[in-house]
Amino acid sequence: MDVYGGDRADARALHHSGARTACRVVRRIEGGKAMNWTSPAEFFAMGGYGQYVWGSFGVALVVLCAEWLLLRQRRQAALSQVKRQLILREEESR
């Protein structure tokens, strides 16, 4: 596979015999240059793939927030259960 090296995106490990040929999987970006966006709208559009990119970020954010909330709820439930058990043990020892 191609790796980004310096000012171009076609630097290859030349010490390996199979690495001297261009990778067919990686497509060259327009003229071999890095991606540049001229406006915020162009950045968010992501060349027509923005709905998939930002949708993926949104789903990941929702899942992470849900995990955080559920974890917080489970922690509070566990703490209250431990507190109840301590109170019961204290009452039994009297």
pLDDT for the residue 25: 47
Handedness of CA 63, 65, 67, 69 (dihedral sign): negative
Among 33-37, 67-71, 73-77, whose mean pLDDT is lowest? 33-37
Within a 10 A sphere around the Cβ of 4, how many other Cβ atoms? Answer: 10
**pLDDT, tens digit, for every residue of 32-41?**
556 677 888 9
